[in-house]
Amino acid sequence: MYAKYALALLLALQVSMCLCDGPTPSAELVQKYNDMKSVFYKRLLTAHGKMIEILTPDLLPSPENDGLKFVAEGIEKLKNKTIGAEAQPLVDRARAGALGAYEYYLRPQIGVYLNDAIDTIKAYLDIVLPAE
């Protein structure tokens, strides 16, 4: 009876140890991911700049719109705050695990289709929200 429990425990530990050591992503995939991430951040910064450009006259305190002063102060506080610096190693490890699993299990089947979809979306984003 106890031998069955011991065998089940050993098998469960073996499976859990196998799941801990996932495939590592290739340098090419990591570089491609980092390039896409940097372009995405550039697009966000461009959108943020355009939004601030449009909203700044309304957010500046004046005799007409003194009620929006707290919004401008909140935006300034968010600019000065660093978020997630202590969680960065965990995020990097999770990202590497997800990229490795994608490359090993999914990329052979859906990699071409996903690449074509990303290229199509990039073409529309270049029109609507350019990175530069």
pLDDT tens column, 113-122: 999 999 999 9
Q: Where are the domains of the chain?
A: 2-128
- Count other C-beta atoms under 10 Å from residue 129's C-beta: 13
CA distance 75 to 65: 16
pLDDT tens column, 66-87: 555 666 677 677 666 666 667 7
Name the pLDDT band for 93 (thresholds 50, 70, 90).
Answer: confident
Backbone angles phi, psi at 15, to 5 degrees: -65, -45
Burial class of 25 by CB neighbour count within 10 A (0 to 12, 13 to 18, 19+): buried
